[in-house]
Structure 1
Amino acid sequence: MDPNNLTKEYTNGEVTIVWQSGKCIHSGNCVRNNPDVFKPKEKPWITPESSTTEKIMDTIKKCPSGALTYYLNNEK
């Protein structure tokens, strides 16, 4: 496993956030748009249970690098 290219998943039960570290350009859009979920100084740094599914999806759509994606748990 390459520590510079990890893929991690985080879920709130409705939506699963997929983060790919190798694509992340650290624009900070996720933190600015949804600081209740994206907390880069904490571990785990993504806590999807702290927000609504709709707000999470809206935030992820603003990720310029494509490092953050999501899927609805009932669609997989």
Structure 2
Amino acid sequence: METHEYNTGEITILWKPKVCIHAAVCVKMLPKVYNPKDRPWIKPENATTEELKDQLSKCPSGALSYKLNS
């Protein structure tokens, strides 16, 4: 399955577009990070790792997840 990665150094956001149900929880919670009109549409550098982890845990479809970089 296609997965896009967005890395800040501390955390990598994983996005699976085919899983996304477009509930827009990400956009509502962190509009400074997620803007579907921009390319790239995810700018993880605009939030802290903790803000990103909190938001990513609330993705209803699981299309957005993360891994911590060691």
After TM superposition, the score normalised by the length of structure 2 is 0.95
Say which SS state the counterpart of residue 46 (structure 1) adopts.
coil
Give, in whole Å, the separation in 1 of the partners of 2:65 and 2:16: 9
User: Based on CA coordinates, which of the two structures has the bigger radius of gyration?
Assistant: 1
Which of 4, 10, 13 is matched with 2:9 structurally?
13
1:49-72 Cα offsets, whole Å, 9 max, x none, are 111000001000110000000000
The code of the aligned residue for 1:32 comes to: K
1:13 shift after superposition: 0.8
Give, in whole Å, the separation in 2 of the partners of 1:6 and 1:43: 17
The answer to whether 1:61 aligns with 2:50 is no
The code of the aligned residue for 1:44 comes to: P
Say which SS state the counterpart of residue 38 (structure 1) adopts.
coil
Give, in whole Å, the separation in 2 of the partners of 1:41 and 1:28: 13
Gaps in structure 1 of 5+ consecutive residues: none
Give, in whole Å, the separation in 2 of the partners of 1:39 and 1:56: 14
Gaps in structure 2 of 5+ consecutive residues: none
Q: Report the equivalent of 1:23.
A: 19
What do you get for the CA RMSD once the two structures are aligned?
A: 0.9
1:7-41 Cα offsets, whole Å, 9 max, x none, are 10001110000000010000000000011111111
After TM superposition, the score normalised by the length of structure 1 is 0.88
Say which SS state the counterpart of residue 69 (structure 1) adopts.
strand
Q: Report the equivalent of 1:43.
A: 39
